């Protein structure tokens, strides 16, 4: 349940990538808003270490400051998937924060088939941010903001809304 950034920080290493001038770049915002923790994960470049959950046998590498165009490194950035999943819905909501959750709840209650996408691993946004580890959940067990967010997320799910996280 720990992010790649948290795991790297826990080892005492503080550099995730290199800037244009080659300087070390470390964790800055910790919430996916900046690009200081970009790493290559399992060959996929420019992944946010603070937004990616650690997985067994994951390979995390520090990327070069700039891809070397002559060696074809840029191809990893532009790869096209072999197939795409098709989904049918009435409404697509981008963002699973408070506004997206409220809109999804109202629309689904009115009978719309709703899908909510969010770049984070769980719904709630920055305001209703949900704990991602058991340890964090135990520490936030009495946190009214996290609890009210969890309740709203549950109500939205009960209306049949589809959530696509890390999207």
Count of domains forming the chain: 2
Residue 85 belongs to some domain of the structure: no
pLDDT in tens, 82-123: 788 899 999 999 999 999 999 999 999 999 999 999 988 889
CATH of the domain at 19: 3.10.20
What tokens appear for 7 in the block? Answer: 């795991």
Residue 45 belongs to some domain of the structure: yes
pTM of the model: 0.67
Co-location of 31 and 63 in the same domain: yes
Domain final residue pick, 77, 105, 139: 77
pLDDT recorded at residue 80:
67
**Helix pair angle (144-158, 98-109), 10° resolution:** 30
Helix (H, G, I), strand (E, B) or coil at 48: strand
Helix runs in the chain, H state only: 4-10, 98-109, 134-139, 144-158
Residue 84 belongs to some domain of the structure: no
pLDDT recorded at residue 96:
96
pLDDT in tens, 66-82: 666 676 655 555 566 77
Co-location of 155 and 129 in the same domain: yes
Residue 86 belongs to some domain of the structure: no
Q: Which domain holds residue 29?
A: 4-77
């Amino acid at each position: 349940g720990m992010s790649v950034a948290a795991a790297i920080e826990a080892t005492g290493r503080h550099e995730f990538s290199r800037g244009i001038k080659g300087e070390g770049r470390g964790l800055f915002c910790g919430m996916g808003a900046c690009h200081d923790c970009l790493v290559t994960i399992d060959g996929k470049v420019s992944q946010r270490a603070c937004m990616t959950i650690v997985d067994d046998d994951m390979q995390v590498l520090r990327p070069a400051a700039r891809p070397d165009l002559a060696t074809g490194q840029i191809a990893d950035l532009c790869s096209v998937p072999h197939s795409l999943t098709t989904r049918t819905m009435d409404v697509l909501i981008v963002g699973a924060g408070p506004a997206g959750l409220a809109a999804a709840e109202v629309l689904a209650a009115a009978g719309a088939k709703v899908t909510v996408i969010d770049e984070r691993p769980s719904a709630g946004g920055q305001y209703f941010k949900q704990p991602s580890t058991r340890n964090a959940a135990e520490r936030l067990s009495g946190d009214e903001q996290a609890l009210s967010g969890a309740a709203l997320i549950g109500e939205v799910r009960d209306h049949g809304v589809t959530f696509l996280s890390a999207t």
